[in-house]
Structure 1
Amino acid sequence: MSVGGKKKLVVKYVFEDFSELEKESYGPVEEHFGVGWSIQVFKGASRCNIYLDCLNWQPIPWEIDTRIRLKILRKNEDPLVKTEYHHKFAKGLEPYKSHYFQWIENCSIERYLIDGNLTIEFEVEIKRIPGMEIPKRKFDNDVAKELSDVVLMAGDQKFYVSKNYLSLHSTYFKSLFSEKFADSEKSIIELKDIDPNDFQKFLEFYMENQQLTTIL
């Protein structure tokens, strides 16, 4: 999810029946911004280590600068919250994985179990991804074409979109698709003097936030 130009994501997992788990346990891998994220716990002799794994399968050197907020629910108490204002995930000894970790002392683990389950949540704000290209959302693939009812042309690039969605969130497109405009019934509408890269960013922002009013 992108908020105000910032790239943010949340990874949450409930480790059920925590006391019965193996020494190492993993949550599922979630994909955000073209990168995999997963929560791992390691039960040691004196403490439980909690990891946020960042999985990036690019063969080239990579790094991701982040701000991380860890939240662990507690029974009858406010959640434990720890914030790391700067953490860098980067290609290292394990070329496709980098991690961040905190821990809980085993003597206090019962405070964090709710009905025997351990609930862990990471909020991640991505500050910078030098050398990595976050995949662009596709507006000209088969899925976009199937769901669209109009094609917008910006420069020489086609964008297959939905009139209803754009009209709902943008007064510009609501007017453009109204019966008052001669172009409203065309299956392909040319957007004059609009850069295709800027329009791509506009649509990506719109699709992520679903809360646009008037941008154009």
Structure 2
Amino acid sequence: PPKKIRKIDEGGVKRAPDGIIRFEIDKISTLYEHRKRAPNIEVRGLEWKALVDLDDEVEVMIHCTNEQTTPFSISMNTEFILVHPDNNNNNIIVEDSHIITDFDNGNSGWKLVDWKDLVDCKKGFIKNDTITIEIRFRIFEMRGIKFLPRFNFTDADDPLHDITFIIEGEKVYANKAILAAHSPYFKAMFYRNFAEKNKD
């Protein structure tokens, strides 16, 4: 039967995962690099990374990339899954409710299986010298994270745009106030009077 640890509440990941990271690790029989990184994904405006340690046991870690220096916390439910290639009923699933913080952002790992069990032919987790790991997570609460608004600089119809630049033949639409807030150069260009401003 599938292995389950720390059963989470019924409204957990299964209801609607916010993010799914699924990746394959190949050449298991000749593996010399014991840490593998999954492709990054973006969820709720943050970039999420997953690492797998392959040593005496298979351990999975997940963390988010938050460049802000202020304290933050993310409450989430997560399923770490070692996918059985032939029968999903034999998947190994570790479920957990946990909090990621600025102090401990992905430094903790969740054990999926011992290495000896992973490479056991009778268990059948390795197919074509490859294993598949999937991470499903659902975010319940985010604190201390500020998101800057995102703008589509190619959309001429966005009501926020009030100026157009032509850069290498391409039109780029922007907002004067936002540019001025981030650049003294644009602030001077748009809001100060100087002799060159009105020259053709």
TM-score (norm. length: structure 2):
0.59
Check whether the contact 1:71–1:82 (CA below 8 A) recurs between aligned residues: yes
- Please give the alpha-carbon distance, in whole angstroms, between the structure 2 residues aligned to 1:59 and 1:75: 42
Q: 2:84 pairs with 74, 99, 119, which one?
A: 74
Q: C-alpha root-mean-square deviation of aligned residues, in Å?
A: 2.5
Structure 2 counterparts to residues 1-216 of structure 1, below 5 A: 8-21=18-31, 22-44=33-55, 46-78=56-88, 79-84=91-96, 86-92=97-103, 98-110=107-119, 111-138=124-151, 141-145=152-156, 148=157, 158=159
Structure 1: distance between partners of 2:36 and 2:77: 24
Letter in 2 for 1:116: D
- Per-residue CA deviations over 1:138-185 (Å, capped at 9, x if unaligned) read 3xx31233xx5xx6xxxxxx278xxxxxxxxxxxxxxxxxxxxxxxxx
Aligned residue-pair number: 139
Aligned CA distance change for structure 1 residues 104 and 48 (closer, same or farther; 3 Å): same
Using CA pairs below 8 Å that are at least 6 residues apart, which structure has the higher relative contact order? 2
Q: Using the alignment, how far apart are the partners of 2:137 and 2:82 within structure 1?
A: 15
User: Which AA in structure 1 matches 2:114?
Assistant: E
Sort the Cα spacing of 1:105 and 1:35 in 2 relative to 1 into closer, same or farther, 3 A.
same
Query: Identity percentage over the alignment?
Result: 15
The structure that has the greater radius of gyration is: 2
Q: Which has the higher helix share?
A: 1
Rate the CA distance shift 1:17–1:62 in 2: closer, same or farther, 3 A: same
Task: Give 1:57 deviation, angstroms.
Answer: 1.8
Match of 1:176 in 2: none
Instruction: Tell me which residue corresponds to 1:190.
Output: none
Read off the aligned partner of 2:127 and give its amino acid letter: I
Kindly state the Cα deviation for residue 17 of structure 1 after the two structures are TM-superposed. Answer: 1.5
Closer, same or farther: CA 114–143 of 1 in aligned 2, 3 Å: farther
Unaligned runs of 5+ in 1: 1-5, 152-157, 161-216
